[in-house]
Amino acid sequence: MNEKVYDKNSIKKIKGLIIGIIVIILLIGGFLVFFEKIENGYVGVRYSMNGGVKDQTLSQGVKFVGLDKVTQYPIRLQTVKAEKLNLATEDGKATHVSITYAYKVDSKKVSDVFKEFGSINVEDIEANWLKAQLLKSSRAVVARYSLLDVTGSKSTEVQQSILEDFTKAVEQKGFLVEDVAFGVPDVDAETQKSIDEIIKAGQEKEKAILEADTAKTKADSLAYQKVKAAEAEAEANKKLSESISEELIKLKEVEARLEHGWVEVQTGEVIVDTTK
């Protein structure tokens, strides 16, 4: 009799445990189905199969969405690197360049972005549509410059032009681009050698110009010093000439006679004053 009671109690406990596990599973499943966690720096667009898109977006945190679906978009800057885009320069040189850009979705146009791209996640948009727009803008810009310009003196200008062109191409769809970093173009060894030689020649030319300018500056400085010295001497002579008067001459003559005596010439004879 005790054994039967014991068996009944054990069965009840097992059934209770099973029911508890089922309830927990249902609760977890319900949570996963009916709730959505919006990541930090993202907003969610809520939509249903029969009711369409809800205009009100979901901010970060855990949100009850029922049976609706949610697609999340970043409103905080995201950094994306497009590897080895195939570009061609004005002089017909083919090159591969990796370009990194920073973007976010305009928080005011999140619903419009969903209406344009549907339930496609943002990673797929980056890998396809955004990359295609970046490639289009980069090709249009790079085609206006020579390979030497792209790799050297005008690389910053090229980068800025790509930023401006790419920004205009995507902002109308709700994407805001804030920065573009243009990588080092990948060229074949022969082309790289030619570029290095041209850069070296340019550096040597700049060095020669600098040395010539330095020499000219020194020569101009010496010439200026000579001119100023001559002007100073002429000014001193002028002042001296202006300071000599007839009275001064007589005074100097008297001083000389007092110091050296009198010398007079009369009828071919020299008479010396011996009063000293």
3-state SS class at 30: helix
Q: Which amino acid is at 14?
A: I
> Tens-of-pLDDT digits for all 276 residues of the chain?
555 545 666 666 666 666 666 666 655 554 455 667 877 888 888 887 666 666 677 777 676 566 678 888 898 999 999 999 999 999 888 888 999 999 999 988 998 998 899 888 999 999 999 999 999 999 999 999 988 888 877 889 999 999 999 999 999 999 999 999 998 887 766 665 665 666 565 556 566 676 666 767 777 777 777 777 777 777 776 766 666 666 666 666 666 666 666 555 555 554 555 444
Q: What per-residue confidence (pLDDT) applies to 69? A: 81
Q: d(Cα 205, Cα 98) in Å, to the nearest integer?
A: 32
Q: What's the predicted TM-score (pTM) here?
A: 0.59
Cα–Cα distance between 73 and 121 in angstroms, integer?
8
Residue 122's alpha-carbon distances to 8, 169, 201, in angstroms, are 56, 17, 48
Q: Whole-angstrom Cα distance, residue 11 to residue 52? A: 49
- Tell which phi-psi region holds residue 113, choosing left (phi > 0), alpha (psi between -120 and 50) or beta: alpha
Distances (CA, A) of 269 to 261, 265, 266, 272: 16, 6, 5, 10
Contacts 24+ apart (CB under 8 A), 239-247: none
